[in-house]
Amino acid sequence: MRHLLSAGDLDAAQATEILDIAANLAAVSGREIKKLPTLRGRTVVNLFYEDSTRTRISFEAAAKRLSADVINFSAKGSSVAKGESLKDTAWTLQAMGADAVVIRHPASGAPHRLAHWVDGSVLNAGDGTHEHPTQALLDAYTIRQRMGKIDGLRVSIVGDVLHSRVARSNVLLLQTLGAKVTLVGPPTLVPPSLGETNYDLDDVLPESDVVMMLRVQRERMNDSYFPSAREYSRRYGLDGARLRRMPEHAIVMHPGPMNRGMEITPEVADSPRSTIVEQVTNGVSVRMACLYLLLGGKL
Amino acid sequence: MKIYVRDGVIVSKGSEDRVIDTEGLVALPGLVDLHTHLREPGREDAETVLTGSRAAALGGYTAVCAMANTSPVADTAGVVEQVYRLGQEAGLVDVQPIGAVTVGLKGEHLAELGAMADSAARVRIFSDDGHCVHDPRLMRRALEYVKAFDGVIAQHAEEPRLTDGAQMHEGEVSDRLGLTGWPAVAEESIIARDVLLAAHVGARLHVCHVSTEGSVEIIRQAKAHGIRVTAEVTPHHLLLTHDLASSYDPVYKVNPPLRTSRDVEALREGLRDGTIDIVATDHAPHAVEDKECEWAYARPGMLGLETALSIVLDVFGEDWELITDRMSVRPAQIAGLAQHGRQLKKGEPANFTLIDPTARWTVEPQGLASLSHNTPYAGMKLPGRVVHTYLRGVPTVRDGRVEK
């Protein structure tokens, strides 16, 4: 495989290989010298058309721990801000000899277009409301680490599924890995074609091994997706009372950044059942594994 | 079989000044396109009246109706006369300008429809195509007003409040691709409203590029009630579906969007049974930079003039009666083009096209006469080739080559 554009590109064996390699690479992050020579002399470009400090530094750390040269290309203050097209930017990166381009872009499908215009590997680091495959991989990694497996688990993804690239990638990947995924939220925000849906959070909580909360933007209520932030939290927010209705072994995930008080209360976010900090840690290992496999040509 | 022509008219053998041998070819009255974007004035880098006329003649057309969304907008007598004159200078097809319904296509104030009707361009079709005349009161007035000169409003049916930011058909593919959906109901709700308005004021309504099963059903019912509504379907909506968006290649981005195979079936049935009156291309050339980009940033639209006949042949087979009616006779009637869509017989204008139905050809974007290359049919092998086209007895296309 040359690119990682969609979580749906991975079959179960490929996804498992990424998680296994990530587990091996995680050991590096625990060392005093957190570096492997694997990608020495290779160039990884972080091409970010959206502000996303956490994803960018996660990819940057991953590439640097594998000794790659990292170029950060932010759309702000660059030729992109002056109106350069994605295709012209692609040619520039091509001319600089980029071996991999990590792209974050507000338009769905932009990484697919970019993949036509560069010879190097393209990693989708989030495109519009489409996908965010490395987020799904780090979520799968985190689930496997906490629960010991993924196959057969009941995963509820709660919130603004319609606009969530995290949800789309997770549905594809977790189903590939054998989980049973239920999408939960108000009908305005949960397209039924994406999978099994349930509009009642309290109904699914006792039946969930994993509850993944999605970020919900307050601005959505201006488009009448829901009446108010207060009503949203009342119906779909995860608070302590709801946490206690989940099975004892069940975990709570969130891709961040959180809207504390909106979709999740501080009590839940900071509880031992929450995996939010581990998700960030695991992100680096999983992204190392992706770069390693794509640039090593083994996947 | 031979056609005898003199002074631009079909004559009987012996009195001709030109004889056209149609051996092995199918002769049709020149095709008429009710929905063409020629881009001039304003976007001469994408298409001009001349290059669009070439594409039309090569596609077997002898008349095209030029949409009003140029820059400046064709909302005054001056602009429609300019387009009309450019068409005459090109001389390859009759270019009949369409006037805007509202000033600047803004949907706020009626353009001077009467001035355009009285101009040298003799405008009879008015359309804000690209935009819907969504204000119901304004739409009602427009329908009413053009009755004075037997005009017709050609509506781009799209409720804008339901298509804010829309990128493709709303359905399982848009859900998967994370592209904002353009729901079928946004088209259907406007058509339902407009047929009722047309009935209320006793006016003519033409519905542009019908794209959904529900729209076909609404128009079928309206016609059954005697409402004066006509409708068009594009070749691409008769053939292509929303699955093509999976590539994120904006060559498949068009407005209204490609829909489901179920819609395609309903549109074919609607055209067959006459619910949909005509095939219109919605030929929409776009410069390379407006298509070689992210899907969301690309302009919607596809080329159509040079491929329309072949697509219809591909979908319906050699049903020459259907093709003649839906691509020449009916569009000429709706547009009020008396010199077009006539039978090929003595005394009629010599506007016709000759087709080799056995030929097959492969669509090559760079090989098309249009200035732009945004065809969704690249690489497809299609049946039927226009060999010659004649406008008033003069060849505009000879042996598959345009005359100028």
Q: What tens digit of pLDDT does each residue of A232-243 get?
A: 999 999 999 999
CA distance B257 to chain A (A): 17
Interface membership of B176 toward A (CB under 8 Å): yes
Q: Where are the domains of chain A?
A: 7-130+280-295, 133-275
Interface membership of B246 toward A (CB under 8 Å): no
**Do the two domains A7-130+280-295 and A133-275 of this chain adopt the same fold?**
yes
Interface test with A, best of B169, B243, B248, B253 (most A CBs within 10 A): B248
Q: What tens digit of pLDDT does each residue of A180-218 get?
A: 999 999 999 999 999 999 999 999 999 999 999 999 987
Average pLDDT, chain A: 94
For residue A87, CA distances in Å to A78, A236, A251, B43 come to 15, 41, 42, 22
User: What is the per-residue pLDDT for A219?
Assistant: 76
Interface membership of B292 toward A (CB under 8 Å): yes
Please state, in angstroms and rounded to a whole number, the distance separating the CA atoms of residues B206 and B156. 9
Q: Which residues pair with B383 in a beta bridge?
A: B360
Cβ separation A108–B297 shorter than 8 A: no
Per-state percent for chain B, helix, strand, coil, to nearest 5: 35, 20, 40
Among chain B residues, CA nearest to A6: B177
DSSP string, A135-194: HHHHHHHHHHHHHS--TT-EEEEES--TT-HHHHHHHHHHHHTT-EEEEES-GGG--GGG
User: What is the per-residue pLDDT for A299?
Assistant: 43
Residues of chain B neighbouring A113 (CB-CB closer than 8 A): 248-249, 293-295
Please compute the mean of the pLDDT values over residues A118-134 and round it to a whole number.
Answer: 97
Phi-psi region for residue B115, left (φ > 0), alpha (ψ -120 to 50) or beta? Answer: alpha
Cβ separation A105–B289 shorter than 8 A: no
Interface membership of A129 toward B (CB under 8 Å): yes
Among chain A residues, CA nearest to B180: A129
Q: Residues with Cβ < 8 Å from B351, sequence gap 6 or more?
A: B29, B30, B62, B63, B339, B340, B342, B390, B391, B392
Q: What tens digit of pLDDT does each residue of A24-75 get?
A: 999 887 888 888 999 999 999 999 999 888 899 999 999 999 999 999 988 7
CA dihedral A82, A87, A88, A93 (to 10 degrees): 110
As annotated, the active-site residues of B are 282
C-beta separation of B222 from B197 below 8 A: no
Is the pLDDT score of A298 beyond 60? no
Is the pLDDT score of A141 beyond 90? yes
Q: What tens digit of pLDDT does each residue of B94-126 get?
A: 999 999 999 999 999 999 999 999 999 999 999
CATH 3.40.50.20 at A7-130+280-295, yes or no: no
User: What is the per-residue pLDDT for A32?
Assistant: 86
Interface membership of A175 toward B (CB under 8 Å): no
Cβ separation B179–A130 shorter than 8 A: yes
Cβ separation B248–A113 shorter than 8 A: yes
Interface test with B, best of A113, A165, A168 (most B CBs within 10 A): A113
Closest in B167, B172, B294 to A110, CB measured? B294
Closest in B171, B178, B293 to A108, CB measured? B178
Residues of chain A neighbouring B293 (CB-CB closer than 8 A): 85-87, 113
Please state, in angstroms and rounded to a whole number, the distance separating the CA atoms of residues B29 and A90. 49
Instruction: Give ipTM to 2 decimals.
Output: 0.94
CA distance B334 to chain A (A): 40
Is the pLDDT score of A297 beyond 60? no
Please state, in angstroms and rounded to a whole number, the distance separating the CA atoms of residues B3 and B19. 6
Identify the band that residue A78 occupies on the pLDDT scale cut at 50, 70 and 90: low
Please compute the mean of the pLDDT values over residues A287-298 and round it to a whole number.
Answer: 87
CA distance B121 to chain A (A): 39
Closest in A107, A112, A193 to B175, CB measured? A193
CATH class of domain segment(s) A133-275: alpha beta
Q: What tens digit of pLDDT does each residue of B310-346 get?
A: 999 999 999 999 999 999 999 999 999 999 999 999 9
Sign for the pseudo-dihedral over CA of A148, A149, A150, A155: negative
Interface membership of B295 toward A (CB under 8 Å): yes
Among residues B231, B263, B390, B251, the alpha carbon closest in space to that of B307 is found at: B251
User: What is the per-residue pLDDT for A80?
Assistant: 66
Closest in A108, A165, A191 to B296, CB measured? A108
Interface test with A, best of B176, B288, B290 (most A CBs within 10 A): B176
Residue A12: other Cβ atoms inside 10 A:
14
Q: Which run of H or E residues covers position B356? A: strand B352-362
Phi and psi at residue B316, to the nearest 5°: -110, -5
Residues of chain A neighbouring B247 (CB-CB closer than 8 A): 112
Cβ separation A108–B248 shorter than 8 A: yes
Among chain A residues, CA nearest to B297: A107
Chain A from 18 to 77: CB within 8 A of any B CB:
none
Parts of chain B with a pLDDT under 70: none
C-beta separation of B143 from B197 below 8 A: yes
Please state, in angstroms and rounded to a whole number, the distance separating the CA atoms of residues B207 and A141. 53
Q: What angle do CA A75, A79, A85 make, to 5 degrees?
A: 85
CA distance B118 to chain A (A): 44
Closest in B175, B178, B295 to A131, CB measured? B178
Q: Would you say the pTM of this structure is higher than 0.90?
A: yes
